[in-house]
Amino acid sequence: MLETAVGWHVELKFEEDAHRTRAVALVRLPDGSEVRSHGYARRHPVDPNQPRVGEEIAGARALNELTMRLLTKAHDEIDAESGRTSRPLTS
């Protein structure tokens, strides 16, 4: 039975022009720390302008990078607590 409920708030923000989309992902953790990442998408000149598609690609890339940063953060915290070097969580 779970006794403690913890929530994370994840924000995704986008900046776009006619050819590029940039996404910024941010998660605020219960310990007060924040992890931030970025993702990018670029439209090929012959493709139609579909901003939603650019947001999906850039957002997915930002979330993927956020995933890797969180795994690395957890790995570093495990090593700091245990005093040894463990196998990376990203493999």
pLDDT confidence of residue 14: 97
Distance CA 8, CA 19 (A): 32
Q: Give the SS3 label for residue 31.
A: coil
Whether the per-residue pLDDT at 91 is higher than 90: the answer is no
pLDDT confidence of residue 50: 86
pLDDT in tens, 37-83: 999 999 988 988 888 999 999 999 999 999 999 999 999 999 999 88
Q: In the structure encoding, which two tokens stand for residue 29, read together?
A: 């953790």
- Contact (Cβ atoms closer than 8 angstroms) between residue 23 and residue 55: yes
More confident residue, 30 or 4: 30
